[in-house]
Structures are given as structure tokens and as C-alpha cells.
Structure 1
Amino acid sequence: MATDLKTVAQAIDAYAARQQLATPATTALFHNLLSDALAKATTAEADGTYFVKTGDIPAMWLRDATFQVLPYVQLIDEIPDLQPILVGVLRRELRYIQHDPYANAFNQTASGAHWSDDESDIPVSDLVWERKFEIDSLCAPLLLALRLQEQTGAADFFDDEFWQTLGAILTVFETEQHHETASTYYFKREDCPANDTLTHDGRGTPVAETGMIWNGFRPSDNASELGYHVPSNMFAVAMLRALLPLVPSEATPLKTRMQQLITSIEQGIADYAVVTLPTGETGYAYEVDGLGHTKLMDDANVPSLLSLPFIGYTAADNPYYQATRRFILSADNPYYYQGTILKGIGSNHTPAAYVWPISLAMVGLTTPDKPVKQAQLALIAATDNDTAQCHESVSVDDASQYTRDWFSWANMTYCQLALELI
């Protein structure tokens, strides 16, 4: 029997109402948003799983859904009924991956609804909303599982279904290490912006093999320009590394495959993605192709270079990370914008000079500095245009100019940061 979502949402609201942050504005926004993903975006399904729509789009993105519910993991001790809901979200994600591991977003039912009529190497299923291959979409459910295990000590969801799904993920990763020769995947969309489809007849920009996993689309859902999206490869390493000790003893072949992937990707990062930044320091590229080309930038969407400590790839004091952080939080990053009311990282997914609250919150989530965390919360709260929402992106000069009235991922990343201070 499904846990009653309304009752749990009320418990979350009651918890939020007892909390105080540093300012009235940050407190009020937290009170309004903490139950957002559960009360407004989540639906209980007959099979015991839970569907989480991304906000004002009715589909469930594997990445977005994970980050929408992730703050609730740390509330399980306070509100135990959250645990079966979060496990139910994980179950639905795993089943979506088994249905089509190349898809990034899914319908609640096999309704046949799609973002657009796309062409891919197989017919797009009626259950699939969009079939953009993104490494991070396969990693995000693994992050949810790991956070649940760390918080609760429970491991019952690491069952046959979980390890079978991980095996399917590994097969995709292994195939896409050899995208040019071993993969049949392609993606073509007509009558769209250039960054919403793949070039070269849907195969993407040519790449050389590097040991890393080829990636079709960035976490922004825009096409990867150079094939190897470095933060997503780092996300894969972080997840596989953390899962290794949990692999059952009888699954030795699975563990061997995981170890081989970690070693190969790490070598590829060392060989191709450690570069000299525009600042003159050594740090990480955002994308590479193995043919000598690099993309030096960062995008607001997670996984990003900024988010590396948050996703568990490296410590915040890692010298390469710190050098990269200085670069991406400066005008040297082509997607870093500064105006009269905001400064921070945006995306090619949204207009120039628009900053994403997700990236503003991630600045706080990747530093131990409490005043910085408080400042980032205050900055987000001061630019919500009195909507009590965080939005997707906001103009650096005018808070009344923003994209998306309701973007649950942004709301919940704000709450994630607020909970660190609580």
C-alpha cells in the first residue's frame, strides 16, 4: 500500500515551519518550497513506485527527479514515511532504465507523448518522452540509492533488480567507450535549435577513443559539442567507485567490469581532460574529443565542473578542482554572467546573461564556508521576483525576467543548501 503523499507533505511543511534561516526572506522561501517536489510533482503508482514530473513539463527526467527528491533523504530520521517513497522513486527510475537505457525522460504511462517526433536507431517507445542519451541520466538513480544507503543503513533495495539494472548501465557505458565503432545510437530532431540535435547524421561530432564514455547530450539537454562530457564521466566514476564495496560476492564479473570502467575513464580524464586553463592554472576541461580539441567552460546544470565535490568525485580542496572553480566562477568562463543584481553561471539552454539558481546554490553546496552558503541563499531569495519560486534562470539585471514559472529541481536544490545550514 502506497504511503499517503498528502500526509507526508504535511509533515514536511510542519518540519519546515519549525526552522529558521539567517534572514526572513530565505526562511520564507524555504518554508514555501520544502514540500514542493512531494506535494506538487510526485504521484503514487499502482505498482508501489512513484512518478516525479519535472515541474511544468509532465515528463519524469531521471536526472531531475533524483535531484528533486534528494533533499528528502536527510529528513528520513525526522519523517520515516519518506523512506518508502524515495525507494519507490528509485524503483521507477530503475524500471525506466531497463525499458530504454538511452532515454533521458519518460511518460507516466505509455501514452505516446513525446517532446517532438525524433528519429533514433530504434523506434521511440510510447513510454519515452525523449530519447537523448546522457550519461548523467544513468548515474543519477545510483546517487539516490547511495544516499539512501548512507542515510539509513538499509540495503534491501540493492537487490537483483538493482544489480541487473546496473549491468544494463555498464553495457551502455562499455559500448559508448567505442561510440564510432560499436554503437548504433543516433538522434535526429528536425526544425529545432542546432544544439537540440546531434550533428553528422545524428551521430555527433567525430571523436577518438579515449577510455571515457561518449555522451550525446549535456545535463542541460543540449548536444555535447565535443563528445566526451567530462563532468558526466566523473559522475560515472564517482558512482561506480562508491558502489564497488556493495556489490554482492556472487557478482564478481559485475565488479570486474566496474573496476575496468573506473580505471579506463580515470586514465582518459588524466590524458585528455587535465588542461591549462585560461587563468594559466591546471584544471579540468568541460568537454574534449580525443582529437586535440577542448571546451573550456562550465554550465549550470548538474553534473557540472562546479558540482564535483557534491557528486562525490573529488574533495573540495583538490588543487585541480580549486583551480577549475576559480576559472568557472570568473569572466573567463563564457557562461559566467555578471549584472546589476546577479552574478553566476548560466547555460546555452537559456538566454545569454541569465543565471541559474541551481548554480548559485551549487556554489554554496561545494564549500565548507557557512557565510558563503548563507550569501548564496540570500541571493536566490532576493531575485525570486516575489513568486516564492526559484525558476530555471534569471536575468542578471532584472529579476522580473526569468524562464519557467515552476522548475522543481531549482526549488529543491535551494532546499538542499538550506538544509546544510539547518
Structure 2
Amino acid sequence: MREIVKGNVLKSVIDDLNKYSNNHELNNIRNTKLFRNLLTDVLIKATKYENDGSYFVKTGDIPAMWLRDATFQVLPYVSLLDEIPDLYYLLTGVLKRELRFVRLDPYANAFNQTSSGAHWSDDDSNISISDHVWERKFEIDSLCAPLFLANNLYETTGKTDIFDEQFWNTLSMIIDVFKTEQHHNTSSYYFRRKDCPSNDTLSNDGKGTPVGYTGMIWDGFRPSDNACVYGYHIPSNMFVVSVLTPLLDKIPKGFEALKNEILTLLNDVKSGIKHYAIVKLPNNHLGYAYEVDGLGNYKLMDDANVPSLLSLPFIRYCSKEEPLYMNTREFVLSSRNPYYYSGTVLQGIGSNHTPVNYIWPISIAMEGLTSNDLNKKSHQLDIISETDNDTSQCHESIDMNDQSKYTREWFSWSNMTYCQLALDLINQDVRR
């Protein structure tokens, strides 16, 4: 093994990834070509090395770094660490940048590379917002995403250097926010934006729709960046369970109080899921609601953005065979899900973030990533590559009847979820 040098390893990693993709073929020429084009796309076009040894990863055609997006943009590389060791320094550098941003403002979802004062909307100046913050929408998944990356790194490498004192101090800050938002009625957080669609701001003077206590954590905005209809977003609360549980046995001496706080929080959240999230679905089976308010109301749907109900095995909340998940999966992949669309070109899950009848390649890939069927995985890859409109990009969403109509020319999260599925298929083929 060649000597590994810490620091900016972007060039060497890109070279190694190109060699890797050139040595692997997928089930057809079109998929192979798209995979080879996209595997390094995020590093060449979206990733910047910082002087502190971290890496800033913008989401694509928007210049900001979303904590959630950045994690899923680089997550596929974790599976290649054995073959390309330099990836470890890149991935830990991304994690370092994410944790730094969390400490800057744990209520923000997206950040500028510098303290430029740029914001998604000029109207966001009505809320307390740092010049380093692009947008201050509180989304539970934004705080879970760095922890998900850290857990994946540890599980793959066994290395514990990422779990330093700064990591645990950042986690302590995250837990404080989660505890505060279990009682959102007394939280100081609000989000108001004028002259925008109703799903881009919070109702009730920026506090969101009323909720009752459930033990779960209140969420202002979905992973789509659109406002929650009911304040407890179930997939995000499940994400909390999946990322905090593996950290319990790694908490060092000196952070015993933090461990006790996490245990209490996990018990509360799991109890809330059990008592409020399990409902009768339109298919007459018990399954999971998408959102609840603790006052008797719930939302039956799923959205393409991860964490989603479809993605629960992928975020490691449950197995693919867990009965409640299987019932929920049947529902969300059917016309009874208001965001499931079926047209002449595509069928799959969309989002209220994009136009009606537009389907997200992320959800198409996730359908494959949460299946054990290799033929299904190959089929989902085919669907995406056949509807890229010859752009060699996956896009955000595509008209179900016309692949020439799509949103966002370049959306790196979508590209890398395609690569995640491609690598999943390659790795399973190797193990056979």
C-alpha cells in the first residue's frame, strides 16, 4: 500500500475513483457510462478543500452546503475505503466541516463556504441568522446526517479518531436542541418568510401548527425543505433512533451525563413512535404515518427526500423484512400515496417540493437500495439512466410523461444516490 499523506487528497482520490469505475462494468453500456461520469462529479465540481483540513461540499447548482445533502453526496465512498484508503481523509474532512457548522448554528440546515452574508431569501434577515448561514430551517435530519456519516465510517474502518472531544461536545449540543424541541411550545425557535409559497415558511407566526407532547422531537421542515404539516416528522424521529443508538457504547468517560440524556431521549422518542406513529393505512394494514401532531391528526404519505418511510432500512432503523415497514412500503409505492405518480415514462415517488407528476430519481434509486432483489436493483438503475435526457446527470425530478422536462440541471445528491445503488449492485455481485 502506498503511503497515505493527510491533507488535500482530492486529486489522488479522483484519479483512483476513475481507475475503479473504469475497471467495473454495470449491466449495460448506458448505466456504465453514467456511473463513470457521476462517481467523481461531486469531487470535481462541488468539493473544496479548506485550510483547516475540512472539505466544503455544495449541493450542486446552489452554492450552499446542506448538512443532509453533503452526507448523502459522499456516503457512497464509504464502501470504497478498503480499495481507496485516501477517501478516509476526504470523508473525515467533510464530517469535520459538518460538525463545525452544527456548532455554529444547530438550527440551520444550509451554510455558506465563507461568512459572505448570502441567504436563500433576503427576507430571512427577519430572523436571527449568521452571515455564514444560507438558510435557518430547523430539520432534524440535518443534525442526524453527520452522525450517520460518522457511524458508517466507524463500522467500515473501526477507527475511533473521529470520536474526539469536539465530536462529543457537538453531540451534546445536538441533544440539547432535541430536548428543547421535545417541548416546542416553550422553544424560542421560529421561522417566518414573506412572499413565498405556504410550504416555505411556518404558520402560526413562525411557530408551526400546534402540537401536543409525544416524547418525539418537533420538526419544522421536512427533508424536502418544505414545512411539516404536522410537527412530528416520523422518518426523522426514526433517524434519531438509528444514529444515536450505535453511539451509546462509544461515549467516553467524562460524558456520562450525556449518555444518560441520550438514553432518556431514545426511550421518549421510541415510545412516541410506538404510541403515535403506528396507524391503519389505506391498505387496511398497520404501518407508519409520515407526520403526526400528538393531537390525533396524522398525515398518510411519503416524500422522495431521505429520510423517508421508504428509506427506513437504508437509514438503518429497521430491516427490509420488518412487517410494519413492509406494510408501509406497499402503501407508499402505490397510488394511495398522494406523491406517488405513474406515467408513460416513469413511476415513483415525488415531492411537494417539485411540480405534480414529477418523480425523483432519488426515490427510484431508494426503491432499489431497500430491495434484496438484484434484478430489481438493476432495473432501477436502468430507469434512471434511460431518463437522463442524454445529459449524463440525474436531476432533481422528472416529468412522469416527458423526460425532457425536469427540475435542476445539476443536483449532486441525486447523482450520488444513483452511484450508491450502482456500488451496492457491484458489491453484491462481488460477494456472490
Q: Which range, TM-score by smaller chain?
A: over 0.9
Match of 2:30 among 25, 29, 45: 25
- 1:265 corresponds to 2:269: yes
Amino acid corresponding to residue 61 of structure 1 in structure 2:
W
Question: Does the CA-based 8 Å contact 1:120-1:187 persist in structure 2?
Answer: no
2-side partners of 1:191 and 1:404: how far apart? 22
Instruction: Give 1:383's aligned residue.
Output: 387
2-side partners of 1:364 and 1:86: how far apart? 24
SS in 1 for 2:119: coil
SS in 1 for 2:341: strand
TM-score, with structure 2 as normaliser: 0.96
Runs of at least 4 residues off by over 3 Å: 118-122
Q: Which structure 2 segments of 5+ residues have no match?
A: 1-5, 427-432
Note the C-alpha offset of 1:120: 7.7
Instruction: Give 2:196's aligned residue.
Output: 192
Match of 2:162 among 129, 154, 157: 157
SS in 2 for 1:129: strand
Amino acid corresponding to residue 43 of structure 2 in structure 1:
L
> What pairs with 1:1-400 in structure 2 (closer than 5 Å)?
2-119=7-124, 123-181=128-186, 183-400=187-404
Amino acid corresponding to residue 329 of structure 1 in structure 2:
L
Note the C-alpha offset of 1:402: 0.4
- 1:404 corresponds to 2:408: yes
Deviations 1:366-408 (A, max 9, x none): 1111111111000001100000100000011000000000000
TM-score, with structure 1 as normaliser: 0.98
- 1:415 corresponds to 2:411: no
Amino acid corresponding to residue 226 of structure 1 in structure 2:
Y
2-side partners of 1:211 and 1:70: how far apart? 30
Note the C-alpha offset of 1:40: 1.2
Question: Does the CA-based 8 Å contact 2:231-2:293 persist in structure 1?
Answer: yes
- Aligned pair count reads 421
Note the C-alpha offset of 1:6: 2.2
2-side partners of 1:189 and 1:64: how far apart? 23
Note the C-alpha offset of 1:278: 0.6
Amino acid corresponding to residue 412 of structure 1 in structure 2:
M
Amino acid corresponding to residue 38 of structure 1 in structure 2:
L
Note the C-alpha offset of 1:245: 1.5
Note the C-alpha offset of 1:25: 1.0
Note the C-alpha offset of 1:175: 0.2
2-side partners of 1:404 and 1:275: how far apart? 35
Question: Does the CA-based 8 Å contact 2:9-2:89 persist in structure 1?
Answer: no
Amino acid corresponding to residue 32 of structure 2 in structure 1:
T
Amino acid corresponding to residue 131 of structure 2 in structure 1:
D
2-side partners of 1:119 and 1:251: how far apart? 36
Question: Does the CA-based 8 Å contact 2:143-2:174 persist in structure 1?
Answer: yes
SS in 2 for 1:386: coil
Change in 2 beyond 3 A, CA 1:120/1:126: closer
Question: Does the CA-based 8 Å contact 2:72-2:417 persist in structure 1?
Answer: yes
Q: Which structure 1 segments of 5+ residues have no match?
A: none
1-side partners of 2:135 and 2:161: how far apart? 31
Percent identity, aligned pairs only, is 63
1-side partners of 2:151 and 2:41: how far apart? 23
Amino acid corresponding to residue 145 of structure 2 in structure 1:
A
Note the C-alpha offset of 1:119: 4.6
Note the C-alpha offset of 1:24: 1.1
Change in 2 beyond 3 A, CA 1:392/1:168: same
Deviations 1:163-222 (A, max 9, x none): 0000000000000000012x1000001111110000000000000010000000000000
Question: Does the CA-based 8 Å contact 1:118-1:187 persist in structure 2?
Answer: no
Note the C-alpha offset of 1:36: 1.2
Question: Does the CA-based 8 Å contact 1:355-1:393 persist in structure 2?
Answer: yes
SS in 2 for 1:300: coil
Amino acid corresponding to residue 105 of structure 1 in structure 2:
A
Deviations 1:146-169 (A, max 9, x none): 111111111101000100000000
